[in-house]
């Protein structure tokens, strides 16, 4: 019932409630029938079949979903019952589209076994740097990062391996950013963008409004050295969903000027972010068709990767894998990649 709920919070609430609905469906799907009443389940797919179908639909592995089901049994049933009992007026007061219930009903009615794409297990942090000391040095300067890890405030307050990987790559390829106008999308703590600023770039860090305050703090921690290295940096709020809905008109005026380079590190961690991310990148590419984007990406779902690359291609964007040297990659496995994205003006967007 909160009216001050931001886009990201609304999005996460919808995800949580939709998953609770799925869990409840698994539990309630198979009717309890006496042997002589076996016909009561004749028109309903077995729970195991439904399980596979919905697991594939929402991109989660069977094993992890079983754990959730065990822990959310009663909560899931209660949630479904409450949602089904809502009046139209009550639905309109919540940031939850009814399509979730329709999707579950459709799964119940038409479920057939689908071979799910594997969702790969996530390792813990692979790099071990102390950014408060700091023992991470860029262009002769220690890079200081204020991280609010495990705070429950969202992913934008944590340092992720991909941001360190992309920083290492930029340090080995300084000409990519030095003296150029650079925007970081989904900057989080700003580690990659601040690295570019220390390498002499004019950088604009972007993320959701509630993340910008921490970004500003990290800018202040490194401002002196950035200026010393002929760089510049600022932080601007950017909601990809607004760019998706309104295009360039939805961008802050500071983002409507052409950028030479865009960088992004580990920004696609759920499928629902793919379309707004691609839309934002497309808008920025229209402002400057010669803009080059570098994305450090950790594969979590092969299906999500396919969706991401297909959408980029459909918008006239060309994706190339970047060779990562062993001293940049260090001990990271092949789930970590860097991609270069450019605009192909011959393809209609």
What is the pLDDT at residue 279? 95
Q: Give the confidence band of 259 by pLDDT, cuts at 50, 70, 90.
A: very high
Return the percentage of the chain with pLDDT > 90, whole number: 44
pLDDT at 25 over 60: no
Segment 103-131, tens digit of pLDDT: 544 443 443 333 334 444 445 677 888 88
Burial 329-342 (b: 16+ CB within 10 A, else e): beebeeebbbbebb
The pLDDT mean for the chain works out to 75
Nearest one of 15, 7, 12 to 237, comparing CA atoms: 7
pLDDT of residue 290 exceeding 90, the answer is yes
- The pLDDT assigned to 137 comes to 95
244 has pLDDT over 80: yes
pLDDT tens per residue across span 131-171:
888 789 999 999 999 987 655 556 777 888 999 999 999 99
Mean pLDDT over 46-61 rounds to 49
pLDDT of the residue at 98: 57
pLDDT tens column, 190-241: 999 999 999 999 999 999 988 999 999 999 999 999 999 999 999 999 999 8
Q: What are 79-106's pLDDT values in tens digits?
A: 555 666 667 776 666 655 555 555 544 4
3-8 long-range contacts (CB < 8 A, ≥24 apart) are: 5/95, 6/208, 6/209, 6/210, 6/239, 7/208, 7/239, 7/241, 7/242, 8/154, 8/208, 8/210, 8/239
Whether 281 contacts 251, CB under 8 Å: no
The region that residue 140 occupies, defined by phi over 0 for left and psi between -120 and 50 for alpha, beta otherwise, is left
Q: What is the pTM of this model?
A: 0.66
Residue 348 confidence (pLDDT) above 50: no
- Asked if residue 135 lies in contact with residue 129, where contact means CB atoms within 8 angstroms, the answer is yes
């Amino acid at each position: 019932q909160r009216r001050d709920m931001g886009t990201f919070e609304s999005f996460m609430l919808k995800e949580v409630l939709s998953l609770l609905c799925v869990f409840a469906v698994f539990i309630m799907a198979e009717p309890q029938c006496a042997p002589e009443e076996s016909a009561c389940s004749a028109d309903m797919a077995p729970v195991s079949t439904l399980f596979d179908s919905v697991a594939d639909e929402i991109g989660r592995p069977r094993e992890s979903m079983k754990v959730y089901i065990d822990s959310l049994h009663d909560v899931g049933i209660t949630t479904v019952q409450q949602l089904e009992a809502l009046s139209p007026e009550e639905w309109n007061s919540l940031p939850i589209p009814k399509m979730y219930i329709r999707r579950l009903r459709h799964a119940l009615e038409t479920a057939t076994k689908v071979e799910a794409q594997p969702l790969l297990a996530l390792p813990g942090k692979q790099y071990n740097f102390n950014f408060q000391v700091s023992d991470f040095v860029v262009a002769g300067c220690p890079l200081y990062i204020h991280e609010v890890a495990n705070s429950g405030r969202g992913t934008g307050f944590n340092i992720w391996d991909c941001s360190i990987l992309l920083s290492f790559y930029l340090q080995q390829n300084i000409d990519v950013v030095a003296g150029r106008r650079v925007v970081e999308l989904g900057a989080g703590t700003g580690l990659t963008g601040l690295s570019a600023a220390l390498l002499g770039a004019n950088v604009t860090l972007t993320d959701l409004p509630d993340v910008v305050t921490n970004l500003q703090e990290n800018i202040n921690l490194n401002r002196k050295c950035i200026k010393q290295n002929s760089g510049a940096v600022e932080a601007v709020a950017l909601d990809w969903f607004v760019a998706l809905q309104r295009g360039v008109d939805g961008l802050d005026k500071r983002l409507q000027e052409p950028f030479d380079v865009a960088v992004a590190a580990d920004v696609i961690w759920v499928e629902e972010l793919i379309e707004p991310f691609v839309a934002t990148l497309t808008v920025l590419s229209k402002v400057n068709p010669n803009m080059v984007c570098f994305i450090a990406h950790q594969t979590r779902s092969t299906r999500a990767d396919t969706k991401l690359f297909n959408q980029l291609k459909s918008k006239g964007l060309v994706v190339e894998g970047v060779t990562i040297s062993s001293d940049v990659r260090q001990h990271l496995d092949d789930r970590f990649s860097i991609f270069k994205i450019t605009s192909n003006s011959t393809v209609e967007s």
